[in-house]
């Protein structure tokens, strides 16, 4: 590979891949706001914030690509220096990823029965990943030249902890979904199984993508090839979150196979019953203090979900 392949080639493909995923994010965002009437203001605000950050990130990526591919074309001395829009894009990446991880970590917390040990462990990994990401971004901003030893270890450590955080959240979601299957009837177990399969598939894709960024940087630390994986990464996370929200209606349709079925269970954490009742083609559930009366179940909005499908689908990992 020539010098231009390692630098301009990486930037070129990073811009293309980022643009593709950004287009998908825009479609998912439009679809969400067309079908989010029942969601709370916090959830809508989260989606809006992530969409704005993703748009800002895309603008910064395009600016970075323009400077590298057009304005500095043929000037090898300029190509050796870091364009200011790259570390700023990385900063928006860090904030966006943090919001998505917090969203799915909350789902792990709910699904685990509000297990403080689990959420503390996840919080520790996310905090370490955040700290290293911010540190590497600051180092990149202050060190003007690319590929210096001051930034290599920080970027590599940041990529490693990011991959670990994604893998841990995905594994936790898979574990608790798999464990909960035994508490439900056959129709609901099939639904949870489909959620588990989706979690594994998306988790594997996102984890492999993060691993690709880690490996490419490890093999070529002085090049821009790792940007092909790194720059589109926040869009993969944003799409995973939006896909989990947009898939709820489809899962509600699947849940209707268990209509007119009512049962309750108790878990090992002392939660009160989860009741299911579907007299009018609608599955409802309740946690903790929710009271069930006759054939009509009234669910609280504590967990921002209104049915088993929306609950489970919100647990789907981006990883």
Q: Report the largest interatomic distance among the alpha carbons of the chain, rounded to a whole angstrom.
A: 76
Collect all residues with Cβ–Cβ distance below 8 Å to 50 and sequence separation of at least 6.
96, 99, 100, 238, 241
Q: Is residue 124 domain-resident?
A: yes
Taking only the tens place, the pLDDT of each residue in 243-252 is 888 877 777 6
Residues of the chain with pLDDT under 50: 1, 259-319
Element counts in the chain: helices (H) and strands (E): 12, 2
Q: Is residue 31 domain-resident?
A: yes
Which among 231, 226, 229, 224 is positioned nearest to 8, based on CA atoms?
224
- pLDDT of amino acid 130: 93
Q: What residue numbers bound the domain in which 191 lies? A: 3-254
- pLDDT of amino acid 74: 72
| Calpha distance 67→81 (Å, rounded) | 11
Asked if residue 65 lies in contact with residue 279, where contact means CB atoms within 8 angstroms, the answer is no
Q: Is residue 88 domain-resident?
A: yes
- pLDDT of amino acid 166: 87
- pLDDT of amino acid 256: 61
- pLDDT of amino acid 302: 40
- pLDDT of amino acid 211: 85
Taking only the tens place, the pLDDT of each residue in 85-141 is 988 999 999 999 999 999 989 989 988 989 999 999 999 999 999 999 998 877 776
Q: Is residue 299 domain-resident?
A: no
Q: Is residue 316 domain-resident?
A: no
| Calpha distance 186→183 (Å, rounded) | 10
Classify strands 292-293 and 296-297 as parallel, antiparallel or unpaired.
Answer: antiparallel
- pLDDT of amino acid 163: 87
pTM of the model: 0.75
Q: Is residue 90 domain-resident?
A: yes
Q: Give me the residues paired with residue 277 across strands.
A: 284
Q: Is residue 311 domain-resident?
A: no
Q: Give me the residues paired with residue 297 across strands.
A: 292
State the angle between helix axes of 149-180 and 85-111 in degrees (0 to 180), rounded to the nearest 10: 20
Listed in sequence order, the DSSP H helices in 143-182 are: 149-180
- pLDDT of amino acid 102: 94
Q: Report the CATH number that the domain containing residue 226 is assigned in CATH.
A: 1.20.1070
Asked if residue 267 lies in contact with residue 113, where contact means CB atoms within 8 angstroms, the answer is yes
Listed in sequence order, the DSSP H helices in 233-292 are: 233-246, 248-255
Q: Domain count of the chain?
A: 1
């Amino acid at each position: 590979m020539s010098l231009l392949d390692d630098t301009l080639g990486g930037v070129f493909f990073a811009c293309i891949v980022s643009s593709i995923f950004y287009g998908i994010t825009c479609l998912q965002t439009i679809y969400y706001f067309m079908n989010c009437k029942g969601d709370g203001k916090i959830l809508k605000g989260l989606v809006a914030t992530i969409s704005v950050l993703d748009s800002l990130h895309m603008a910064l990526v395009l600016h970075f690509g323009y400077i590298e591919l057009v304005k500095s074309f043929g000037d090898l001395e300029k190509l050796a220096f870091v364009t200011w829009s790259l570390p700023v894009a990385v900063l928006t990446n860090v904030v966006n990823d943090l919001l998505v991880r917090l969203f799915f970590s909350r789902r792990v917390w709910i699904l685990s029965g509000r297990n403080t040990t689990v959420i503390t462990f996840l919080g520790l990994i996310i905090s370490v990943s955040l700290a290293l990401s911010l540190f590497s971004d600051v180092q990149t901003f202050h060190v003007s030249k690319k590929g210096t030893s001051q930034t290599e270890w920080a970027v590599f450590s940041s990529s490693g902890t990011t991959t670990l955080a994604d893998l841990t959240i995905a594994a936790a979601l898979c574990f608790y979904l798999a464990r909960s299957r035994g508490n439900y009837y056959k129709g609901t177990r099939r639904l949870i199984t489909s959620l588990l399969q989706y979690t594994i598939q998306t988790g594997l894709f996102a984890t492999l993508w993060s691993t690709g960024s880690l490996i490419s940087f490890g093999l070529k630390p002085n090049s821009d090839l790792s940007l092909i994986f790194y720059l589109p990464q926040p869009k993969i996370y944003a799409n995973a979150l939006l896909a989990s929200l947009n898939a709820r209606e489809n899962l509600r349709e699947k849940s209707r196979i268990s209509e007119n079925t009512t049962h309750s269970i108790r878990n090992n954490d002392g939660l009160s019953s989860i009741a299911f009742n579907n007299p009018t083609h609608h599955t409802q559930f309740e946690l903790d203090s929710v009271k069930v009366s006759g054939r009509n179940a009234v669910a609280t909005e504590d967990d921002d979900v209104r049915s088993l499908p929306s609950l489970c689908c919100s647990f789907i990992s981006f990883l």
